[in-house]
Amino acid sequence: MQKQRTGDAKLIQELNRSIILDAIRKYGPVSRSEVAKIIDISPTTVTSAVFDLMDEGLVYEDGVGNSNGGRKPVLLRFNPSAYSIIGVSITNSSIKIADMNLEGVIARKKVYKANEYQGEEMIQFILDVVGQFLATKPNIERCQGISVITPGIVDAKNGLISYNSKLKLYNVPLKELLEEKTNLPTYVDNDANAFVLAENFFGIFSNYKDLLYITIGDGVGSGVMINGAIYRGFIGSSGEIGHTSVVQGGMKCECGNTGCLENYVNWPTIYSKIVSAIMTKKRDTVIKDMVTNDLSKITPSIFVQAITQQDALAIDIMDEVVDHFAVAITNTIHMFNPEVVILSGDIIEGNSLFLQTIHERVKRKVIPILKENINIQSTSLGSEFELLGSAAVILHGKFKFQIS
């Protein structure tokens, strides 16, 4: 978050510029005087900022609007293709890279399999594939920078991957390494933080300021946005909802503690519950038919389909997952009072019964004043959420310049 320094004319000018650009992006085609009205800034300030923005190619004039008696006003539009950005999404198994415009529209994309690389090998792999991708990129001089997102704890200010136990990356100065290699400004952020920025930038939650985003996959991560900015915590480790304790003296977690949420709701746990119910408890389920008795073929989407078909076993397992999840979400809602809780992950996609059940259970648990204000939704980002996340790390900073 940018600090406001009263009297710093240059900073105020930059702030105004971002706010004006954001208004043109959102409301264009729009006239200068309308922009001034919408954001309550003087028309002279708008005119002078628009002059600079047009000079940079970010804004262009496009036709005229209706007049209120006088001269017809010239309308302004945002030009998302004025610059490009490179988005890089690192997961435990692959690296996705895309060349995008300023609205996150993908011009070119590549997915590189990471072959279980870890530590030094992984770092070298990241540097190699980014280098390869950029070698054939046109108009590199119009590139605003590279944005890398990764699971684990990230020191976004210094561009360091502080801690990622699965990839064995500890205190990796990725920003510095990539800037040295590519000469492009580089940003590094945690993936869940990037997704909450993307929901707020591209998604249907752009008018919300207090959001909690939770993603469930092999692990459970979350991003917290407070008053329009990411809440990072002291060393950047905020949002570790997967390691909140939900069972006293429960299952052992890889973090060293016991009873962490992650181990009760992640896909490997759900999968082993399904398999054990079929194999040892001999439970009957449509899942068996769906995978023609080959249990290795059970995927999150099969599980969701079984729930949709009201399969008793799938619904029982979902209930157990929701029970644990509701504890963690209730605790977090009491702590942060978000306007919306956004859920994402394979077991959430197309699973309206999950959303409905968690909503009911959380509503039952929260303090009375919050009962009518529980808003739990599924992600609005679609299948390219990883690349949109990486784009949002740069774009959110550029457009949604908040004064706190």
Helix axes 300-308, 267-279, angle to 10 degrees: 60
Nearer to Zn ion, 126 or 328 (CB): 328
Minimum distance, C-beta of residue 284 to Zn ion, in the bound complex (Å): 34
3-state secondary structure (DSSP) of residue 124:
helix
User: Is the C-alpha dihedral spanning 50, 53, 54, 55 positive or negative?
Assistant: positive
Structure token pair of residue 138: 């046109």
Residue 287 contacts residue 306 (beta carbons within 8 Å): yes
Residue 323 contacts residue 356 (beta carbons within 8 Å): no
Interface ranges with Zn ion (CB under 5 A): 243, 253, 255, 257, 260
Nearer to Zn ion, 264 or 401 (CB): 264
Minimum distance, C-beta of residue 23 to Zn ion, in the bound complex (Å): 44
Nearer to Zn ion, 110 or 252 (CB): 252
| Extended strands (E) in 166-236 | 169-172, 186-190, 211-216, 220-226, 229-230
Nearer to Zn ion, 255 or 295 (CB): 255
Minimum distance, C-beta of residue 117 to Zn ion, in the bound complex (Å): 24
HSE-CB for 315 with a 13 A CA cutoff: 12
Nearer to Zn ion, 211 or 260 (CB): 260
Nearer to Zn ion, 259 or 397 (CB): 259
Minimum distance, C-beta of residue 371 to Zn ion, in the bound complex (Å): 30
Rounded-to-integer distance, Cα 137 and Cα 197, Å? 26
* Strand-by-strand arrangement of the 211-216 sheet: 229-230, 220-226, 211-216, 340-344, 376-378
Minimum distance, C-beta of residue 342 to Zn ion, in the bound complex (Å): 22
102 by Cβ neighbours in 10 Å (0-12 / 13-18 / 19+) ranks as buried
Minimum distance, C-beta of residue 260 to Zn ion, in the bound complex (Å): 3
Residue 404 contacts residue 4 (beta carbons within 8 Å): yes
Nearer to Zn ion, 232 or 243 (CB): 243
Minimum distance, C-beta of residue 259 to Zn ion, in the bound complex (Å): 8
Residue 333 contacts residue 374 (beta carbons within 8 Å): yes
